Amino acid sequence: MLTVRYFAGAREAAGVASEQLEVGGPTPVAALRRALAASRPGLAPVLSRCALLVAGSRATDDTVVPDGALVDVLPPFAGG
């Protein structure tokens, strides 16, 4: 079970601020991205540009997300 939190535009696209996700054990980030995009179609285009942070650290596609981890989905924006 993972806790996924969506921030800013990712929250709008997901429609929820956070959710619990059953992934059945440690999951590579690439697979997690696919699972998130599949479960929430509106999220897919936003997700591709979002940073994924696992327990606060940058996660690459190869990073394996341990069971029980907190995953934050954060879109960058540069406006100032």
Binding residues for other proteins, per CB under 8 A? 3, 5, 7-9, 11, 16-18, 45, 48-49, 51, 53, 55-58, 60, 70, 72, 74-80
For residue 47, CA distances in Å to 70, 79, 80 come to: 16, 19, 22
For residue 31, CA distances in Å to 12, 27, 67 come to: 22, 7, 14
**How far apart are CB 26 and other proteins at their closest, in Å?**
19
**How far apart are CB 69 and other proteins at their closest, in Å?**
11
Beta-bridge partner residues of 4: 19, 71
**How far apart are CB 22 and other proteins at their closest, in Å?**
18
